[in-house]
Structure 1
Amino acid sequence: MTLRISLRDGEKVVINGAVIRSSGRTDLAIESKVTILRGREIMGPAEATTPARALYFHTMMAYLDPDGVSRHHDAIIETLSTVGRLATCEAGRAAVAGFASRAAAANYYRALGECRTLMRLEQEALAAVAEEAA
Protein backbone atom coordinates (compact mmCIF):
# COMPACT_ATOMS: atom_id res chain seq x y z
CA MET A 1 0.00 0.00 0.00
CA THR A 2 1.37 3.41 -0.97
CA LEU A 3 1.62 6.23 1.57
CA ARG A 4 1.17 9.64 -0.03
CA ILE A 5 2.53 12.73 1.71
CA SER A 6 2.37 16.36 0.61
CA LEU A 7 5.00 18.68 2.03
CA ARG A 8 4.90 22.47 2.07
CA ASP A 9 7.90 24.49 0.98
CA GLY A 10 10.64 24.07 3.59
CA GLU A 11 8.78 21.40 5.60
CA LYS A 12 10.93 18.67 7.12
CA VAL A 13 10.29 14.96 7.17
CA VAL A 14 12.38 12.18 8.71
CA ILE A 15 12.46 8.97 6.70
CA ASN A 16 14.43 6.04 8.15
CA GLY A 17 16.49 8.51 10.18
CA ALA A 18 17.33 10.84 7.29
CA VAL A 19 16.10 14.43 7.68
CA ILE A 20 14.70 15.68 4.38
CA ARG A 21 13.57 19.26 3.73
CA SER A 22 11.30 19.99 0.79
CA SER A 23 12.24 22.61 -1.74
CA GLY A 24 8.93 23.94 -2.99
CA ARG A 25 5.70 22.02 -2.63
CA THR A 26 6.58 18.33 -2.78
CA ASP A 27 4.45 15.22 -3.09
CA LEU A 28 5.98 11.91 -2.01
CA ALA A 29 4.72 8.40 -2.64
CA ILE A 30 6.29 5.97 -0.18
CA GLU A 31 5.98 2.43 -1.50
CA SER A 32 7.80 0.39 1.12
CA LYS A 33 7.78 0.05 4.89
CA VAL A 34 9.64 2.96 6.49
CA THR A 35 9.80 4.91 9.71
CA ILE A 36 8.55 8.37 8.87
CA LEU A 37 7.66 11.50 10.83
CA ARG A 38 6.58 14.83 9.44
CA GLY A 39 8.12 18.04 10.75
CA ARG A 40 5.27 18.84 13.13
CA GLU A 41 5.64 15.38 14.71
CA ILE A 42 9.36 15.80 15.41
CA MET A 43 10.48 16.93 18.88
CA GLY A 44 13.99 17.96 19.84
CA PRO A 45 15.50 16.97 23.21
CA ALA A 46 15.25 20.56 24.50
CA GLU A 47 11.47 20.43 24.00
CA ALA A 48 11.05 17.40 26.32
CA THR A 49 10.40 19.65 29.34
CA THR A 50 7.54 17.78 31.05
CA PRO A 51 6.93 14.08 31.81
CA ALA A 52 4.47 13.61 28.92
CA ARG A 53 6.75 15.47 26.50
CA ALA A 54 9.72 13.36 27.66
CA LEU A 55 7.66 10.23 27.06
CA TYR A 56 6.91 11.47 23.52
CA PHE A 57 10.59 12.20 22.87
CA HIS A 58 11.82 8.78 24.06
CA THR A 59 9.07 7.02 22.11
CA MET A 60 9.89 9.04 18.99
CA MET A 61 13.53 8.01 19.33
CA ALA A 62 12.56 4.34 19.70
CA TYR A 63 10.44 4.67 16.56
CA LEU A 64 13.12 6.41 14.50
CA ASP A 65 15.95 4.16 15.69
CA PRO A 66 14.63 0.58 15.49
CA ASP A 67 18.16 -0.87 15.70
CA GLY A 68 18.80 1.00 18.96
CA VAL A 69 15.35 0.58 20.52
CA SER A 70 16.82 -1.12 23.59
CA ARG A 71 18.68 2.11 24.44
CA HIS A 72 15.37 3.99 24.55
CA HIS A 73 13.28 1.29 26.21
CA ASP A 74 14.47 1.99 29.78
CA ALA A 75 13.77 5.72 29.39
CA ILE A 76 10.27 4.94 28.10
CA ILE A 77 9.51 2.66 31.07
CA GLU A 78 10.87 5.15 33.62
CA THR A 79 9.02 8.10 32.10
CA LEU A 80 5.80 6.11 31.68
CA SER A 81 5.92 5.33 35.40
CA THR A 82 6.00 9.07 36.17
CA VAL A 83 3.27 9.90 33.66
CA GLY A 84 1.12 7.06 34.99
CA ARG A 85 1.29 8.46 38.53
CA LEU A 86 0.27 11.89 37.23
CA ALA A 87 -2.65 10.64 35.09
CA THR A 88 -5.52 11.00 37.52
CA CYS A 89 -8.44 11.61 35.15
CA GLU A 90 -10.19 8.84 33.21
CA ALA A 91 -8.95 10.15 29.84
CA GLY A 92 -5.38 10.21 31.16
CA ARG A 93 -5.57 6.67 32.50
CA ALA A 94 -7.02 5.49 29.18
CA ALA A 95 -4.23 7.22 27.25
CA VAL A 96 -1.58 5.67 29.53
CA ALA A 97 -3.12 2.21 29.05
CA GLY A 98 -3.34 2.72 25.27
CA PHE A 99 0.24 3.92 25.17
CA ALA A 100 1.49 0.97 27.22
CA SER A 101 -0.34 -1.50 24.98
CA ARG A 102 1.03 0.04 21.78
CA ALA A 103 4.57 0.41 23.14
CA ALA A 104 4.58 -3.20 24.39
CA ALA A 105 3.67 -4.28 20.86
CA ALA A 106 6.49 -2.06 19.49
CA ASN A 107 3.91 0.03 17.63
CA TYR A 108 5.71 3.25 18.48
CA TYR A 109 4.06 5.40 15.81
CA ARG A 110 0.60 4.70 17.27
CA ALA A 111 2.00 5.15 20.80
CA LEU A 112 3.03 8.67 19.77
CA GLY A 113 -0.67 9.44 19.21
CA GLU A 114 -1.40 8.49 22.82
CA CYS A 115 1.51 10.70 23.89
CA ARG A 116 -0.07 13.65 22.08
CA THR A 117 -3.24 13.04 24.11
CA LEU A 118 -1.18 12.89 27.31
CA MET A 119 0.65 16.11 26.40
CA ARG A 120 -2.67 17.88 25.82
CA LEU A 121 -4.07 16.65 29.14
CA GLU A 122 -0.86 17.60 30.91
CA GLN A 123 -0.98 21.10 29.41
CA GLU A 124 -4.61 21.51 30.48
CA ALA A 125 -3.74 20.40 34.04
CA LEU A 126 -0.77 22.79 34.23
CA ALA A 127 -2.93 25.65 32.96
CA ALA A 128 -5.59 24.87 35.59
CA VAL A 129 -2.96 24.85 38.36
CA ALA A 130 -1.54 28.17 37.13
CA GLU A 131 -5.03 29.66 37.00
CA GLU A 132 -5.76 28.52 40.57
CA ALA A 133 -2.48 30.01 41.77
CA ALA A 134 -3.23 33.38 40.18
Structure 2
Amino acid sequence: MTLRISLRDGEKVVINGAVIRSSGRTDLAIESKVSILRGREIMSPAEATTPARALYFHTMMAYLDPDGIAHHHRAILEALAAVGRLTCCETGREAVATFAARAAQTDYYRALGECRTLMRLEHDALAEVAEEPA
Protein backbone atom coordinates (compact mmCIF):
# COMPACT_ATOMS: atom_id res chain seq x y z
CA MET A 1 0.00 0.00 0.00
CA THR A 2 1.35 3.42 -0.96
CA LEU A 3 1.58 6.19 1.63
CA ARG A 4 1.05 9.63 0.14
CA ILE A 5 2.07 12.78 1.97
CA SER A 6 2.17 16.40 0.94
CA LEU A 7 4.75 18.77 2.35
CA ARG A 8 4.56 22.55 2.43
CA ASP A 9 7.53 24.61 1.32
CA GLY A 10 10.29 24.21 3.92
CA GLU A 11 8.46 21.49 5.90
CA LYS A 12 10.65 18.76 7.37
CA VAL A 13 10.07 15.04 7.36
CA VAL A 14 12.22 12.27 8.83
CA ILE A 15 12.35 9.06 6.82
CA ASN A 16 14.34 6.19 8.32
CA GLY A 17 16.38 8.69 10.32
CA ALA A 18 17.18 11.01 7.39
CA VAL A 19 15.92 14.58 7.81
CA ILE A 20 14.47 15.88 4.54
CA ARG A 21 13.26 19.45 3.97
CA SER A 22 10.97 20.18 1.05
CA SER A 23 11.88 22.85 -1.44
CA GLY A 24 8.54 24.11 -2.67
CA ARG A 25 5.34 22.17 -2.27
CA THR A 26 6.25 18.51 -2.50
CA ASP A 27 4.16 15.37 -2.82
CA LEU A 28 5.74 12.06 -1.86
CA ALA A 29 4.52 8.55 -2.59
CA ILE A 30 6.23 6.06 -0.30
CA GLU A 31 5.93 2.51 -1.54
CA SER A 32 7.79 0.50 1.08
CA LYS A 33 7.75 0.17 4.84
CA VAL A 34 9.60 3.07 6.46
CA SER A 35 9.80 4.93 9.74
CA ILE A 36 8.43 8.37 8.89
CA LEU A 37 7.53 11.44 10.93
CA ARG A 38 6.37 14.80 9.62
CA GLY A 39 7.84 18.02 11.00
CA ARG A 40 5.04 18.67 13.48
CA GLU A 41 5.51 15.16 14.93
CA ILE A 42 9.24 15.66 15.58
CA MET A 43 10.37 16.70 19.07
CA SER A 44 13.84 17.93 19.97
CA PRO A 45 15.54 16.76 23.20
CA ALA A 46 15.18 20.30 24.61
CA GLU A 47 11.38 20.03 24.27
CA ALA A 48 11.20 16.90 26.46
CA THR A 49 10.62 18.98 29.60
CA THR A 50 7.86 16.99 31.34
CA PRO A 51 7.31 13.26 32.00
CA ALA A 52 4.79 12.88 29.14
CA ARG A 53 6.96 14.87 26.74
CA ALA A 54 10.00 12.74 27.72
CA LEU A 55 7.91 9.63 27.03
CA TYR A 56 7.05 11.00 23.58
CA PHE A 57 10.68 11.88 22.82
CA HIS A 58 12.08 8.47 23.82
CA THR A 59 9.30 6.65 21.96
CA MET A 60 10.01 8.76 18.88
CA MET A 61 13.70 7.84 19.15
CA ALA A 62 12.85 4.13 19.47
CA TYR A 63 10.80 4.47 16.29
CA LEU A 64 13.50 6.34 14.35
CA ASP A 65 16.64 4.69 15.77
CA PRO A 66 16.27 0.91 15.93
CA ASP A 67 20.04 0.52 16.45
CA GLY A 68 19.77 2.24 19.85
CA ILE A 69 16.67 0.34 20.95
CA ALA A 70 18.10 -0.96 24.25
CA HIS A 71 18.88 2.58 25.42
CA HIS A 72 15.49 3.85 24.21
CA HIS A 73 13.63 1.04 26.00
CA ARG A 74 15.25 1.94 29.32
CA ALA A 75 14.39 5.62 28.82
CA ILE A 76 10.80 4.74 27.84
CA LEU A 77 10.37 2.64 31.00
CA GLU A 78 11.70 5.45 33.21
CA ALA A 79 9.46 8.05 31.55
CA LEU A 80 6.44 5.72 31.66
CA ALA A 81 6.93 5.22 35.41
CA ALA A 82 6.94 9.01 35.90
CA VAL A 83 3.85 9.46 33.73
CA GLY A 84 2.08 6.65 35.58
CA ARG A 85 2.60 8.44 38.90
CA LEU A 86 0.96 11.56 37.45
CA THR A 87 -2.04 9.82 35.92
CA CYS A 88 -5.11 10.05 38.11
CA CYS A 89 -8.00 10.15 35.60
CA GLU A 90 -9.53 7.20 33.77
CA THR A 91 -8.61 8.64 30.35
CA GLY A 92 -4.98 8.88 31.46
CA ARG A 93 -4.90 5.34 32.81
CA GLU A 94 -6.40 4.03 29.55
CA ALA A 95 -3.84 5.99 27.50
CA VAL A 96 -0.98 4.59 29.61
CA ALA A 97 -2.30 1.03 29.19
CA THR A 98 -2.77 1.44 25.44
CA PHE A 99 0.66 3.04 25.13
CA ALA A 100 2.28 0.16 27.03
CA ALA A 101 0.56 -2.42 24.84
CA ARG A 102 1.61 -0.69 21.62
CA ALA A 103 5.18 -0.15 22.81
CA ALA A 104 5.41 -3.82 23.86
CA GLN A 105 4.39 -4.75 20.31
CA THR A 106 7.02 -2.30 18.95
CA ASP A 107 4.22 -0.28 17.32
CA TYR A 108 5.98 2.96 18.22
CA TYR A 109 4.22 5.15 15.66
CA ARG A 110 0.80 4.39 17.13
CA ALA A 111 2.23 4.62 20.66
CA LEU A 112 3.17 8.21 19.84
CA GLY A 113 -0.55 8.94 19.44
CA GLU A 114 -1.14 7.84 23.04
CA CYS A 115 1.77 10.03 24.11
CA ARG A 116 0.03 13.02 22.51
CA THR A 117 -3.08 12.19 24.59
CA LEU A 118 -0.92 12.00 27.73
CA MET A 119 0.79 15.30 26.90
CA ARG A 120 -2.62 17.01 26.55
CA LEU A 121 -3.78 15.56 29.88
CA GLU A 122 -0.53 16.57 31.57
CA HIS A 123 -0.77 20.09 30.13
CA ASP A 124 -4.36 20.43 31.38
CA ALA A 125 -3.43 19.13 34.86
CA LEU A 126 -0.48 21.52 35.12
CA ALA A 127 -2.69 24.43 34.02
CA GLU A 128 -5.23 23.54 36.71
CA VAL A 129 -2.52 23.47 39.39
CA ALA A 130 -1.19 26.84 38.20
CA GLU A 131 -4.68 28.37 38.46
CA GLU A 132 -5.33 27.13 42.02
CA PRO A 133 -5.11 29.85 44.65
CA ALA A 134 -2.13 29.59 46.98
The TM tier, using the shorter chain, reads over 0.9
1:57-105 deviation line (CA, Å, top 9, x unaligned):
0000000011221111000001101101111000000000000000000
Partner SS for 2:79: helix
Task: For residue 133 of structure 1, report the CA deviation from its aligned partner.
Answer: 3.5
Partner SS for 1:88: coil
Partner SS for 1:119: helix
Pairwise CA RMSD of aligned residues?
Answer: 0.8
Separation in 1 of the partners of 2:106 and 2:67?
12
Hey, which bits of structure 1, 4+ residues long, moved more than 4 A?
A: none
| Equivalent residue number for residue 103 of structure 2 | 103
Partner SS for 2:132: helix
Identical positions, percent: 83
Gaps of 5+ in 2: none
**What are the within-5 Å matches in structure 2 for residues 1-134 of structure 1?**
1-133=1-133
Partner SS for 1:10: coil
Separation in 2 of the partners of 1:78 and 1:133?
32
**What's the TM-score once normalised by structure 1's chain length?**
0.98
Separation in 2 of the partners of 1:20 and 1:12?
6
Separation in 1 of the partners of 2:93 and 2:131?
23
Separation in 2 of the partners of 1:67 and 1:46?
22
Separation in 1 of the partners of 2:74 and 2:60?
14
Gaps of 5+ in 1: none
Counting matched residue pairs gives: 134
